[in-house]
Structure 1
Amino acid sequence: MVSIKWTKRKSPTQEEISKFAQDNKVSDILAELMIERDLTEPADIQDFLHTDISGLQDPFALHDMDKALETLDSVIQSEGKIAIYGDYDADGVTSASIMRLTLKKMGVDPIVYIPNRFKDGYGPNLAEYKKLVEDKHIDLLITVDNGVSGKDEVKYLKDNGVKVIITDHHDLPKELPEADAIVHPTIPGAEYTCPYLSGAGVAFKVADALLGDEALEFIDLAAIGTVADSVALLGENRVIVTEGLKHMKDNNHVGLKALIDKCKLKVAKITEEDIGFAIAPRINALGRLDDASSAMELLTTSDAGFAKEIVDETEDINTKRQKLVRDAFADSQSQVEAQQENGVLVLTSDKWHQGILGIVASRVVEQEHKPTLVLQYDQDSELYKGSGRSPEGFNLFEALDAHRDLFAGFGGHAQACGFSLSEPDLNKLIPLLQEEPSKQNFDPMKPMEKVFDLDLHIQDFNFELIKEINKLAPFGMGNPKPLIKIPDVKLAQSQAVGKDGTHLKTTVTDSSHQVNAIGFGLFQKEEANKGSICDVYGYLSINEWAGKKSLQIMIGDFEVSPKAAKINQLQSIYIDYRSKMLSQAIMEKFDSIVFFNQAYYDMVKRHNIDAKIKMFNEDCGGDNVLVYDRPHDIELFKEFLKNNKTQHTALYLHTDMNARYLRPDMAKMKQLLKYLYSHQNIQMDEMNLVGDYLKMDKNDIDFYLKVFFELDFVKMVNGFVEKAEVSKQRELIESPTYMKRLQRNDVEKILIESNFANVLDWISQYDCHD
């Protein structure tokens, strides 16, 4: 399990939060979250909180958009054949679907080719290009979500008289293809206002340039590709997803509606999380295990019956995909263990399914915090085909691109790549990759740094808090869902759930509040936790069951809190002697015996105990100490804890008082005072009779009278208790006797009445042991 170092994203002061909230008319919670996201300019704040269609940018600001439209128009005018070449993941499928539907609106019925992951591999494929040229006689090839790395493949097309429009968003190679147009958001010198568009986002911008407002019919597909490809949900991407979710409710696409129904999602409440965890994985499943062309057909068909057939097939394939992932991940663990010393993990098998390699790589990265390549040997091609993933801080694309000559095929992003290579070249690559972490100053053994956004207690949780947090949605890369730290809580009623029993169902609880929680893959960690006080990190959500809504925490992680770690340390230092019978032999086992009251000090000293006899303000550092008696003021005990780093401290805390320190009863005090004021000529030795009449204890009567005398409520005149003429309003806290009683009550409550676990909890705040 990778160790995690948790820090707060930013720590604005309460004064800064309050001022921001007041200036921008938002809640304190929203103010804190926006400050953490550097959203401080009024215009940016309004755009972020009120994202709408007006945030869509001019599509002609994208590089070569005008050339792309000119090229397309010339081919359409000449009635040339057009082919769309896509990709097999959710971004590539939605990109191809958008482009196909756009061209159909223009009266063109294009050939659409979605490459097969197993036959065609990742990115441009020269063999398939040749088939499109030789068999289909195309005049124009439009790539979507790929193509920018196909310099040689594009040259072949151009040499054969085929025009080429590339629409892509992937990292740029050193040399660009010589296409007729390259529509891409990060071309040097022509960087777009939203450089992190997805492939579907770029395809949607082409549709926008061609169709204007009509292109909004496809913005829901662009939203799926944007969320699925994990690009930053900022700027125009935020608009695409926000508006895409709205348009998804209009059911413009028969196939998408069928898929949403199969996922049992409520279309009126659909969110970006529903895309990420339900819709996109099913679209991806087709490309991982089968032919992704059916996914494109699903998203572009108008036949409800055909859509249902594909959706049923998709569900079966997705279930199969989940099992393959579980099995391959479990099988990979022996290789992971064998490569513990390696900075980059390279896991291989001839049994794993090629379609799930990227998912397995992602899970290993999450587990090990190391760049990971997962490869399957394909006997037909005699090549290893694989996917790579890497944690933040390590650029996998750069690491592999430095050895591009070893690959038969290669492409991807900083954190995700696809590739193929021969066994000899793989053997050359593995040692070279081990040099890459140091080149990038990446230490895989360093604790993974993660951030949380809010530091809250369970009592702060309510539905209004969720409403405020969701004002920042949609969440994703660049705008993560706010993570909450819940300090000093316990996990109770924990149980294993899920098919393999690895998930955790529990209750997060403090001394007076609790909330139900789920933690995926965290049951084993909780088993080792043994009920320690924890800091829990998670997301607040709403659980709906049987028509009822309740708050729920989705736990991302938990760790023994600093407070709990301190208490665990103190358990080996402090010993509970409060109920023990002390003998001289036991007392002499200690180096020092500490006293808070002089009378006890003098009494024990007369017995010639073979141990150092000390008052509480003397140094006891390094000693095995017995604290004999209890202080009259808890502040004295705090000072003792702060100043004495003992080896062990046994707490006996003796007193000769028969009764516990009694908390002053205000009602009885008023009753007694009223009686004294209404009855004259009461002598002090008659107070026992007064106590009997009022049903009050003699100790209480003595205490209350002493307080009354100190506050000049009553006075003694010739042996009688009489009402005094009070010249000013007096408070009880002005009575030394009353304050001393309160102090003793604190001692009793904290050190005597509490169980020892709570005593240690209190001690942890003042103890000086490191």
Structure 2
Amino acid sequence: MLHPKYRWVGLHSDAEAASLLAEQAGIPKIVASLLVSRGIQDAQEARQFLQGTMKDLHDPYLLSGMQEAVARIRRAVEQDEQILIYGDYDADGVSSTALMLCLMRHLNARFEYYIPHRSKEGYGLHISALEPFVERGFTLVITVDTGISAVEQIAYANAAGMDVIVTDHHEPPEVLPEAYALVNPKLPYCKYPFKGLAGVGVAYKLAAALLADETPAAWTELVTLGTIADLMPLTDENRILVTNGLKAMAYSSFPGITALMGAAGYAKSEPLTMVSSTNVAFGLAPRINASGRMSHANQAVALLTTQSIEEAEKIAEDLDILNKERQLLVDSIVQEAIAQLAGKEAEGALPGVIVLAGEGWNPGVIGIVASKILDRYYRPTIVLGIDPETGTCKGSARSIPGLDIYEALTHCKGLLDHYGGHPSAAGMTLHRSQLAKLEEQLNEFAAGVLYEEHFIPVMHTDLECRLSDISLPVIEQLENLAPFGMGNTCPRLLIRGAKLVESRSLGKEGKHMKLVLSQDGTMMEAVAFGKGELLSQLTEEARIDVVAEASINEWNGSRKPQLMIQDLAVPHIQVFDYRGASHPVVKMNEIRSQLIEQQSLEQRMIAVVAVKDSELTKNYELNDTPCWIYDKDVGVIPGNTAAQLNGQNRMDIKILFVLELPESFDIWHKMMGAFSSLERVYLLHPARDRQEAILPPSREQFKQIYALLKQQVTAAVPEEELISGLMRRTRLSRRMLVMTLEVFEELGFIHRDMGTITVIQAPAKRALDSSRRYLELGELAEMEQILHHAGIPQITQWLMTNQQNVS
């Protein structure tokens, strides 16, 4: 058995509503079903979702403050005022800054821009940054992707004779700055119909308000980059802007985007025919972010605004190098953070909110570290870098559904010098002396809103189907829902009971895996990125449940369906074959250590079973693993102290190492009943020579042996002598003959006394199957034949049947 990482929850889709929508909108039923599950049932709404154009964008003047912002910018341009564009250092902030610079150039304005240094200054508007521009006579500041919390800084600007227009999309604080204009769809009084714009989306709306139909179509490329990078929902007008931006990127008007595509490996000498949201999320965004994380975001702004192909290629190459350095740095900090958290776990249970801090941790990458810790432990996580000289901590937070991290930080605002963000991600600054109180107050807050179910990640599935349902035409229909991203995920298909035909690792160090699945005569390849460690947990011909996205694999002119696995499970007991291992206990300890280390299994979940007085358990160290001994009455009894301590909790045992087999099937059956929660069985028992095998008993065989006995035994004969003679005549194993004689004794056909055997010449007639020993012999023969000589699929099926019979 292999448990899924997520709890799978199927999205509800009304079949009747889907049929009606398919008919009214003229779309395939599978697409209609997916739209209904995403809350779209109206035909007009469906057409706009699938075919929306730039004309369907909302009027930018619906944004509060837009009228005032446009008028002030036009006056500044007309009067030749100096304008400062103040941005942020992440990909959304860089895209917003680049778009605003394009707008300023288009307006022929006098302008400069400023982005704070991530580690030296931190997020937001800073008075120290504004002072030089005040001295130089700048009279208008336009913020992009920042500013909504800058109460003191904007008050300073106002007093210094600067007007400030804030364009932002972050959560507004309780007290708003007194800016010349606040443009943010999340303002409580703003009636704008879509609240999910990225910072660059708000900047684009400002450009659209100023330029109307003259707004260059190419600017949607910048909107696309920032929107996807900032994980904004790809619904409503974000979907329209990103769809148009992805199309434009294939023949980009920005040398920097073309060069960045090349650095990410997506484009060579010719333009791409299609750019996907995945290309942007995993190729462009990390390299843009690397600039602000590892150096200064000015590099990324220069890349997106240059008109020189040569300069763009040089900067793109530099950003690619920075991104690789960033990856190494993140890996290093993650390991330190995990070690620090292990120390906290040793002191007690895993906290509801994880707070980790380290000296010298680069503030530029701690957000990524927080995401990785969250992915591993599924807890709201804050990671902070501590400046050892000043004691200042700069942190990033990532949260899970159920805890609004911005609200949680607001609860602790008395400890913070500065904070801001969204329900799922935030940033903060505080002194290291406040760290312990911050952790305490955050966990107090979390205790009131988070329950056990919140700590189990959920994966929504769109549709349950069979492999045969996933054809090329169906996949092409599903692609009509693209672009995919937050709020509009790629359809996740649930396939149950597919047979594993083949499995192998992919990539460096085997981090990924490739499977071949079979179901109802349909074979399909499936790729699972980042799940290479699961290979050792998949057994031959296992029946697998998978949640996957369907894609088309194109190679050498061939096109075929392919699954991209998001999560998987094996719902039945699994068998792992190490039969005949030369050092079974050594092998067991090796596997056991891997299970505890890699899969977080506890010692109490693992057990060993062997026969009484086994040399294996005497001569080898069991490392405190509970060892159980076969018992004819109850199946198993404790065989060491660890088993005695765990004797009342056999339901906890999920993993069983079989070092030896019992002497009867009845004992095996009782043992399986004792360990009724088994998920995996590791077979390490010694191999038995086929010459010693117990054969399934047959009437003809018993008739033949009885005839030989009547011929040879006319008086009491030593049992050993008789067995040796029968072995020569029948070629049956000694074990088989001993048990056959036991059956004859039970039926009254022979008499045993003091090591001799006498044949009863005229016994009472009795049917063979009236002998309990005869029935036991058949069960034992089946058990040994399967556990010694059958393949893993046959053993698995036999154990599953055995489990059902004892449950």
Same fold? TM cut 0.5: yes
Q: 1:141-540 to 2 correspondence within 5 Å?
A: 141-215=141-215, 216-266=217-267, 267-340=272-345, 341=349, 342-443=351-452, 446-510=455-519, 512-531=521-540, 532-540=542-550
Of residues 542, 546, 564, the one that matches 2:552 is 542
Closer/same/farther in 2, CA of residues 261 and 109 from structure 1, 3 Å limit: farther
One-letter amino acid matched to 2:174: K
Point out the more displaced range, 413-422 or 59-68.
413-422
In 1: Cα distance, 2:515 partner to 2:771 partner: 52
1:511 to partner: Cα distance:
6.5
Deviations 1:67-105 (A, max 9, x none): 101221222233211001000011000101111111111
1:382 to partner: Cα distance:
2.8
Q: 1:556-567 to 2 correspondence within 5 Å?
A: 556-561=566-571
SS of residue in 1 equivalent to 2:365: helix
Partners of 1:378 and 1:384 within 8 A in 2: yes
Point out the more displaced range, 43-52 or 88-97.
43-52
Of residues 770, 775, 784, the one that matches 1:609 is 770
In 2: Cα distance, 1:588 partner to 1:16 partner: 72
One-letter amino acid matched to 1:334: A
Q: 1:94-113 to 2 correspondence within 5 Å?
A: 94-113=95-114
Aligned to 2:84: 83
Deviations 1:529-561 (A, max 9, x none): 334322112212233445544433222111122
Deviations 1:343-382 (A, max 9, x none): 1111222243221111111111111110111111123543
TM-score w.r.t. length of structure 2: 0.71
Partners of 1:123 and 1:411 within 8 A in 2: no
Partners of 2:227 and 2:238 within 8 A in 1: yes
Identity %: 31
One-letter amino acid matched to 1:408: D
Aligned to 1:597: none
TM-score w.r.t. length of structure 1: 0.75
One-letter amino acid matched to 2:178: E
Partners of 2:21 and 2:43 within 8 A in 1: no
One-letter amino acid matched to 1:112: Y
1:652 to partner: Cα distance:
7.3
Closer/same/farther in 2, CA of residues 170 and 110 from structure 1, 3 Å limit: same
Aligned to 1:581: 697
Deviations 1:435-470 (A, max 9, x none): 122222343774222211122222222221221111
Closer/same/farther in 2, CA of residues 217 and 562 from structure 1, 3 Å limit: same
1:650 to partner: Cα distance:
8.0
One-letter amino acid matched to 1:212: A
In 1: Cα distance, 2:3 partner to 2:362 partner: 27
One-letter amino acid matched to 1:315: D
Point out the more displaced range, 370-379 or 335-344.
335-344
Q: What is the root-mean-square deviation of aligned Cα atoms in Å?
A: 3.5
Closer/same/farther in 2, CA of residues 610 and 250 from structure 1, 3 Å limit: closer
Aligned to 2:609: none
In 2: Cα distance, 1:536 partner to 1:308 partner: 41
In 1: Cα distance, 2:276 partner to 2:117 partner: 30
In 2: Cα distance, 1:85 partner to 1:258 partner: 26
Closer/same/farther in 2, CA of residues 608 and 220 from structure 1, 3 Å limit: closer
In 2: Cα distance, 1:273 partner to 1:323 partner: 22
In 2: Cα distance, 1:402 partner to 1:204 partner: 33
SS of residue in 1 equivalent to 2:11: coil
Aligned to 1:729: none
In 1: Cα distance, 2:117 partner to 2:440 partner: 31
Aligned to 1:40: 41
Which sections of structure 2, spanning at least 5 residues, go unmatched?
576-653, 657-667, 677-692, 699-738, 747-763, 784-789
SS of residue in 2 equivalent to 1:174: coil
Deviations 1:416-452 (A, max 9, x none): 1112211101122121122122222343774222211
Closer/same/farther in 2, CA of residues 436 and 509 from structure 1, 3 Å limit: farther
In 1: Cα distance, 2:453 partner to 2:374 partner: 10
Alignment coverage as a number of residue pairs: 625
Partners of 1:51 and 1:239 within 8 A in 2: yes
1:586 to partner: Cα distance:
7.8
Point out the more displaced range, 206-215 or 327-336.
327-336
Point out the more displaced range, 79-88 or 479-488.
479-488
Closer/same/farther in 2, CA of residues 282 and 444 from structure 1, 3 Å limit: farther
Partners of 1:51 and 1:242 within 8 A in 2: no
One-letter amino acid matched to 2:338: Q
In 1: Cα distance, 2:765 partner to 2:423 partner: 74
In 2: Cα distance, 1:405 partner to 1:587 partner: 84
Aligned to 1:28: 29
1:39 to partner: Cα distance:
1.0
Partners of 2:17 and 2:41 within 8 A in 1: no
1:57 to partner: Cα distance:
1.1
Aligned to 2:714: none
1:397 to partner: Cα distance:
1.0
1:606 to partner: Cα distance:
4.5
One-letter amino acid matched to 1:203: A
Asked if 1:553 is matched to 2:575, the reply is no
In 2: Cα distance, 1:505 partner to 1:586 partner: 53
SS of residue in 1 equivalent to 2:494: strand
One-letter amino acid matched to 2:298: S
In 1: Cα distance, 2:793 partner to 2:377 partner: 41
One-letter amino acid matched to 2:192: Y
Which sections of structure 1, spanning at least 5 residues, go unmatched?
591-602, 614-624, 629-648, 654-751
SS of residue in 2 equivalent to 1:146: coil
Point out the more displaced range, 754-763 or 118-127.
754-763
SS of residue in 2 equivalent to 1:246: helix
Closer/same/farther in 2, CA of residues 755 and 453 from structure 1, 3 Å limit: closer
SS of residue in 2 equivalent to 1:397: helix
1:584 to partner: Cα distance:
7.1
Closer/same/farther in 2, CA of residues 535 and 77 from structure 1, 3 Å limit: same
Point out the more displaced range, 309-318 or 535-544.
535-544
In 2: Cα distance, 1:402 partner to 1:97 partner: 35
1:261 to partner: Cα distance:
2.6
1:763 to partner: Cα distance:
5.7
1:191 to partner: Cα distance:
2.7
In 1: Cα distance, 2:493 partner to 2:573 partner: 18
Aligned to 2:640: none
In 2: Cα distance, 1:755 partner to 1:83 partner: 70
In 2: Cα distance, 1:604 partner to 1:362 partner: 77
Deviations 1:659-714 (A, max 9, x none): xxxxxxxxxxxxxxxxxxxxxxxxxxxxxxxxxxxxxxxxxxxxxxxxxxxxxxxx
